[in-house]
Amino acid sequence: MEERVDIALQREPLDTNAAVARVTVAEAGGIALFLGTTRAQRAETGKGDGDLVALEYHAYEEMAHKQIAKLASEAVKRWPVCQLVVWHRLGEVKVGEPSVVIAVSTPHRGDAFDACEFLIDELKKIAPIWKKELYQRGDRWQGA
């Protein structure tokens, strides 16, 4: 993969400052940052599971990395990307913590926004990453 692309699937907390630093270059006039976070919610099952406490992410890691790399390559072809980061958490991610960080720098802001939106939308469609919702009194599997 190109030097300007940084893809990671990791179990450690995502460092948003490091993601921004990774895409910050003199040629970039715009940096778009997307954080997908675990949001607080009540179980919709009606089973009295209580509040969501965390999400637990699982992935077919080798395939997920390949799919994300394809998306990154497509983004680099479609927009004048200076630097690009796609980092996704695996394992347990508590409410309020980021599950995914996407950062894109381009010469102009519009391209950074467009590339960032493309990456998160397509990642959610094709990457083999699954999540389990962990509630106070139960859990259930969802598509990521």
User: Domain residues of the chain, as ranges?
Assistant: 5-143
Contact 3, 81 (CB under 8 A): no
Cα 80 → chain centroid: 21
What does the pLDDT profile of the chain (144 residues) look like in tens digits?
Answer: 578 999 999 999 999 999 999 999 999 999 999 999 998 877 665 566 788 899 999 999 999 999 999 999 999 999 999 999 999 999 999 999 999 999 999 999 999 999 999 999 999 999 999 999 888 888 878 754
Distances (CA, A) of 29 to 18, 86, 106: 18, 19, 6
CATH superfamily of the 5-143 domain: Molybdopterin biosynthesis MoaE subunit (3.90.1170.40)
